[in-house]
Structure 1
Amino acid sequence: MDLDLPAGLTHRPLTFEDASGVLAAIAAEEVHDLGESSMTLEDVEADWLRPSYDIASSTVGVFDGDLLVAYADLSTPTVGYTAVLPERQGQGIGTALADWIQARARAAGSDRVGAQVPEGSAADRLMRDLGYEALWTAWDLELPADREIEARNLPAGFTIADAGEDDRRATWTLLEDAFLEWSDRDRQSIEDFGARIWGRPGYEPWNLRVARAEDGTVVGATHVHLSGADEDTGEVGAYVAKIGIRPDHRGRGLAPTMLVDAFGRARVHGARRCFLSTDTRAGARGLYEKVGMVATSTWVNRSIRL
């Protein structure tokens, strides 16, 4: 598909070698919109390493010479990612990328496609003007570097430890079941799920923690990883990407205990600031605020019918 771009710009499918350029575009846009970015190269690469994903047919990069100035990525048939360097916004590039994503989503058999963008950002305004409706609100929350984590005791008979290879299928089942209670998407294969966790570049055993009942059954899990250093302060951050408790073990205090455990493990490994994201569908913001987290940014999930 050709793109209607300003004169002098070219486009082509991305390759794995373009990951650093994509990261630079995402980070520049997030810094412009939010004041900082917690995106890492590993975030980009892990998504592209999913076995079901084909980078050549799922991406397009926009270039000014050798410089990547924008990109689009149909990550799944219903979810697209884009970024445009702030100095190149307002030139029609975002509109061209939106057209490309919609065309690719239709070709993949989807009747809807959308993205999550910072509230009030240029991307948010453009999507609204193009007819994307707001479906839900999301927040980034942070445990500030100067805030102590209150220790919490596990209920009797439960333990928390690093997940082993033998725990991977149980962890996949538990976390997918938990997220699919409120998320409108298909179940990920264990191979795609694993590419984002134990297949993520730089993975270490402490990144995946599991809670076990007395009989050894996995009843809870968290995925936490380092998220790079702040350019100004040098402080290393950590991101809790997933947390879930099996339904028959909720209400026992496992979720806040596992969250505190994840933050503690991250701080042992050098993190000063800890982050996670949640949205109105999950109804968990209150839980995170109870352990001392504060909302730092607001996002809007917008979608359009094709």
Structure 2
Amino acid sequence: MTFDLASLARRPITATDSAALAERLNAIEVVDVLGEYYSEEDTTDQINAPLLDLERGTVGVFDGDRMVGYSSAAHKPLAEEVHRVVVSGGVHPDYRRRGIGAELLAAGIASAKTLHTIHHPGLPLAVDVQNNALNDRARACYQAVGMTPVRWYSHMRHPLGAAIVDVPPPDGLVFEGYSADNDAEFLAVRNEAFLDRWGGGATPQEQWRAFLGWPAFRRALSFLLRDADSGVAVGMLLTYSWDADTEATGVRDAHFMTIGTHRAYRKRGVASALISHALRSAQDDGFDRASIEVDADSPTGANGLYERAGFTVARTEVRYTLNA
């Protein structure tokens, strides 16, 4: 494909770019295989995320009305010890091998530094990116700017049906479905459980509200475990399912987006019971499979937990970091 690189427009992404961003992401999925498809509604949710600074944190590259590449830097509103800014982005396959990817990565790093100066200037900055482990060109691009691999994430799938391992809740613990009445307890358990996870930290209320406002959130497949005697919420699981994925693949997938166990209740079977209950509920609701992204070095030994539950690894992604 022939085009003049200098003629491409560069500007921050705006609320009117949802359709262009969805088209670009779906074109990239065909080549990069990240397991994600997008509708315009999905990208609207991303662009309108309450903590995304469009003006200072995003750059879009356009050939006329067509978005051919973008970068987005997402800062952490709450950070301790290190401020980790996650940069995402990519280039439409038709426009690759012209230096646009390197340009956008540099723009993402620059945006990360700007956001860091505004929000957490007193902390060290780490700029993170993540991609399919098999994407050699992306790896070369990251390494060229000094990024190194620091984390590996397993994307695991469960076929449901006979593969479901039934695990009852520990004695004294009872399941509850998500509701407005226990919403705050879902968030409290999530934040407590993530305190010792790599790159973890508290999710602010504003971000939580937006996260649960996505159309992909499946309330009927999201559960809390409560200690019946003390009333304490000890574990939680949130499930999401994207219609765009189902339309593109023909597979209805229940994605366990967030699973957390209160640290005082770990090693008691809380997570195993939540997973089993959610798998059985997904099966009963007509889903074709379930999925989860797992930190391979999780302090809770999550990989083994999901393997025992019947999950297998479908692909691996690598997190790269630049200490800036």
TM-score calculated relative to the size of structure 1: 0.89
C-alpha separation in 1, matches of 2:223 and 2:53: 30
Instruction: Please list the CA deviations of residues 240-272 of structure 1 after superposition, one character each: whole Å capped at 9, or x if unmatched.
Output: 110011122222212111112222333333321
1:154 positional shift: 1.5
Match runs of 1:66-81 below 5 Å: 66-76=65-75, 78-81=85-88
Q: 279, 295, 300: which is aligned to 2:313?
A: 295
Note if 1:116 corresponds to 2:130: yes
Q: Secondary structure at the match of 2:116?
A: coil
1:86 positional shift: 1.9
Q: 77, 87, 97: which is aligned to 2:94?
A: 87
C-alpha separation in 1, matches of 2:187 and 2:44: 20
C-alpha separation in 1, matches of 2:160 and 2:23: 25
Q: Secondary structure at the match of 2:27?
A: helix
Note if 1:278 corresponds to 2:277: no
1:47 positional shift: 4.0
* Higher mean displacement: 141-150 or 293-302: 141-150
Aligned to 1:201: 215
* Higher mean displacement: 273-282 or 24-33: 24-33
* One-letter amino acid matched to 2:288: R
1:163 positional shift: 1.9
Q: Secondary structure at the match of 2:181?
A: helix
The higher-RCO structure (CA 8 Å, 6+ apart) is 1
Instruction: Please list the CA deviations of residues 93-131 of structure 1 after superposition, one character each: whole Å capped at 9, or x if unmatched.
Output: 111111111111111126221111111312222112221
Q: 198, 214, 220: which is aligned to 1:183?
A: 198
C-alpha separation in 2, matches of 1:159 and 1:94: 50
C-alpha separation in 2, matches of 1:218 and 1:43: 31
* One-letter amino acid matched to 2:102: T
Aligned to 2:165: 150
1:185 positional shift: 4.9
Q: Secondary structure at the match of 1:159?
A: strand
Q: 279, 293, 299: which is aligned to 1:263?
A: 279
1:230 positional shift: 4.5
Give % identity: 26
1:232 positional shift: 6.4
Q: 36, 57, 69: which is aligned to 1:38?
A: 36
Instruction: Please list the CA deviations of residues 205-255 of structure 1 after superposition, one character each: whole Å capped at 9, or x if unmatched.
Output: 324311111133211100101133445651211211100111222222121
Aligned to 1:100: 107
C-alpha separation in 1, matches of 2:42 and 2:295: 20
Aligned Cα root-mean-square deviation (Å): 2.3
Contact 1:118/1:124 (8 A) holds in 2:
no
Change (3 A) 1:204 1:135: closer
> Unpaired segments of 5 or more residues in structure 1?
none
User: What is the count of residue pairs matched by the alignment?
Assistant: 300
Contact 1:27/1:37 (8 A) holds in 2:
no
1:33 positional shift: 2.4
Note if 1:163 corresponds to 2:178: yes
TM-score calculated relative to the size of structure 2: 0.84
C-alpha separation in 2, matches of 1:289 and 1:140: 12
Instruction: Please list the CA deviations of residues 65-108 of structure 1 after superposition, one character each: whole Å capped at 9, or x if unmatched.
Output: 11111111112261111021122221111111111111111111
